[in-house]
Amino acid sequence: AQSVSQHNHHVILSEAASLELGCNYSYGGTVNLFWYVQYPGQHLQLLLKYFSGDPLVKGIKGFEAEFIKSKFSFNLRKPSVQWSDTAEYFCAVGPYYNTDKLIFGTGTRLQVFP
């Protein structure tokens, strides 16, 4: 069965620290990959997505993610976090043939302290 694992459940950082959130998926075929963010009291919003091409994708607010096919991973990174990055981050996978259905990880809660 398809699944997505986010190993970091809760991350606490100081401002200006670097961030890397892990995401691994289990699916034998070609996939589309997404990171969504949910700021406190707000909607899930798309941070970035990967469909094909350059495995290093850039998203909004200085975030980027790298798709490593051999490791079934799509880790999210940001070189220098800000207090405003405090949010819950969700990795999601959609099978290439059918992105009707997004499969989400459990989410990582990020707290950034000034």
Partner 1 sequence: EPEVTQTPSHQVTQMGQEVILRCVPISNHLYFYWYRQILGQKVEFLVSFYNNEISEKSEIFDDQFSVERPDGSNFTLKIRSTKLEDSAMYFCASSESTGYNEQFFGPGTRLTVL
The residue ranges that bind partner 1 (CB under 8 A) are 4, 32, 36, 41-46, 49, 51, 90, 92, 98-107
Longest dimension (CA), the chain: 43
Beta bridge partners of 25: 4
User: Between 62 and 95, whose beta carbon lies closer to partner 1?
Assistant: 95
* Minimal distance, residue 46 CB to partner 1, in Å: 5
Q: How far is the CB of 65 from partner 1 (least distance, A)?
A: 15
Which residue, 6 or 81, has its beta carbon nearer to partner 1? 6
- 27 vs 104, beta carbon nearer partner 1: 104
CB of 18 to partner 1, least distance (A): 26
Exposed, middle or buried: residue 110 (CB in 10 Å: 0-12, 13-18, 19+)? buried
Q: How far apart are CA 97 and CA 14, in angstroms?
A: 40
- Least Å from the CB of residue 113 to partner 1: 24
Rounded distance between C-alpha atoms, residue 34 and residue 47, angstroms: 8
Q: How far apart (Å, rounded) are the C-alpha atoms in residues 101 and 12?
A: 31
Of the two residues 18 and 111, which places its CB atom closer to partner 1 in the complex?
111
Residue with tokens 């996939």: 31
